[in-house]
Amino acid sequence: MKFVWAALIIALLGILVALEAVLVGTGDGFVWQVPGFFALFGIVGFLVLVVISKGLGRWIRRYEDYYDRNGDE
């Protein structure tokens, strides 16, 4: 099932890059000349957010018995 989702996402990415090359007009900057730049930029940004959130989650994690460790029982 994971393979099917990965294949669908890659196919969608390919379609979006092809549509971007056809539909997006040319601009003044360098990034407008690179086909698929914004798709790649979005994926890299997403991966950076995932890595940062995983690290942040490990940093602020509390153990299951966090409130019970005081010895009040």
Q: Can you give the pLDDT at residue 32?
A: 76
pLDDT in tens, the chain (73 residues): 888 998 998 899 888 888 877 776 667 777 777 777 887 888 899 999 999 999 998 888 887 887 777 655 5
Both tokens assigned to 51: 């890595």
Contact call for residues 18 and 36 (beta carbons, < 8 A):
no
What is the per-residue pLDDT for 8?
93
Euclidean distance between CA atoms 28 and 31, whole angstroms: 9
**C-alpha span between 70 and 22 (Å, rounded):** 64
